Structure 1
Amino acid sequence: MRMRIFAISLTISWLLWPGEMKEWPTHTICKTKDFEAYYKSCDPLQDVGVSLIPCSTNLAKNMMAKIGVILRQDANVVNTNTKIYFNGAYLFHEEKPLCEKTAPKFSFCGKKKGELVLYNHSVRFGSSILPKGEYFIFLELLNENNYKVACANFTVYSHRLD
């Protein structure tokens, strides 16, 4: 029994040991001849999973967004902090609520620290084609205590021929 407890403790320590990894790897969301999308978690202790189907520069299409994350903080009140850059130039910054105590907008609102959040819904980004260029998107979700719930950096390339 002691040997089993030791083995489990050693395995958990090995998994949680910071080691050589300084940051999460860059993940590919999708890649076509016209469009590429990548992301990397900007939280050193938490990676996220993201997929987007179809992979297209046409933002008017309904796309399926799938996001998975284990919460590092409670998600009772969650605000987004989004910054977008286009071809290296600052485009805009937006902060808005996602979860409010009186009006939860999403199924993950109210989830507790340590719970798995799976978001699998159709999304629509607008009614236009994404112009050719490089986009960098910083997305951070903060709770009511200003703690990170999740964080990711996205890089998107539109190779669309105009």
Structure 2
Amino acid sequence: MKTSNVLVLISVLLFINVSTEWPTHTVCKEDNLEIYYKSCDPQQDFAFSIDRCSDVATHTFNIRAALVLRHSIKELYVKTDLIINGKTVLTYSETLCEPGHSKLIFCGKQKGEHLYYEGPVTLGIQEIPQGDYTVSAKLTNEDGVTVACADFTVKNYLEYY
């Protein structure tokens, strides 16, 4: 009898592990702009939000992001890809944290610490491209390990004048 209970427990644990996929989260949804995201890190989801969808069309807007670090970040790098119809059309990468030069307040955080950012973000572009596309963003540390990863789906039908 105990053997059958153990087998059932192992089966349930394996099924849960195999079927885990992070949900798609809605960042915002307004008349002409929709933004969704899904963690592409199989081991961790995270929280992300903005104040108002319409703020994204401005040069600078406020965000909130939070996660528990699974890896320390002495150095932190971001790589972002713009993907249209399954093809990467633009890639951007930048060093965010490195010894002696940190652009972010959470540089140097250790594994297990809570990372929370609330404040302004500047995209560095004047307009959000129109259409349906994906923005893939990946943060890695000095060991090349993923700290956070997400695919953002953007559906923009705003008209700029």
Deviations 1:23-46 (A, max 9, x none): 100000000011000001111111
Does the Cα contact within 8 Å between 2:55 and 2:61 map onto a contact in 1?
Answer: no
Q: 2:45 aligns with which of 47, 64, 77?
A: 47
TM-score (ref. length: structure 2): 0.82
Report the AA paired with residue 121 of structure 1.
G
CA shift at 1:86, angstroms? 3.2
Does the Cα contact within 8 Å between 1:50 and 1:66 map onto a contact in 2?
Answer: yes
Identify the structure with the greater helix proportion. 2
Deviations 1:80-122 (A, max 9, x none): 1111113544221122101111111111100001111001111
Moved more, 53-62 or 147-156: 53-62
Give the secondary structure class of the aligned counterpart of 2:21: coil
User: Using the alignment, how far apart are the partners of 1:149 and 1:74 within structure 2?
Assistant: 8
TM-score (ref. length: structure 1): 0.82
Do the aligned partners of residues 52 and 143 (structure 1) sit closer, same or farther apart at CA in structure 2, a change above 3 Å counting? same
Task: Report the number of matched residues.
Answer: 147
User: Using the alignment, how far apart are the partners of 1:95 and 1:150 within structure 2?
Assistant: 15
User: Using the alignment, how far apart are the partners of 2:19 and 2:115 within structure 1?
Assistant: 25
Q: 2:106 aligns with which of 91, 105, 108?
A: 108
Alignment of 1:5-154 (within 5 A): 17=13, 19=16, 21-56=19-54, 59-126=57-124, 128-154=126-152
CA shift at 1:61, angstroms? 4.2
Q: Percent identity?
A: 36
Give the secondary structure class of the aligned counterpart of 1:145: coil
Paired position in structure 1 for 2:9: none
User: C-alpha root-mean-square deviation of aligned residues, in Å?
Assistant: 2.1
Do the aligned partners of residues 106 and 35 (structure 1) sit closer, same or farther apart at CA in structure 2, a change above 3 Å counting? same
Does the Cα contact within 8 Å between 1:82 and 1:95 map onto a contact in 2?
Answer: yes
Does the Cα contact within 8 Å between 2:59 and 2:126 map onto a contact in 1?
Answer: no
User: Using the alignment, how far apart are the partners of 2:41 and 2:129 within structure 1?
Assistant: 29
User: Using the alignment, how far apart are the partners of 1:109 and 1:136 within structure 2?
Assistant: 27
Deviations 1:113-139 (A, max 9, x none): 111100111122245232320120111
Does the Cα contact within 8 Å between 1:68 and 1:118 map onto a contact in 2?
Answer: yes
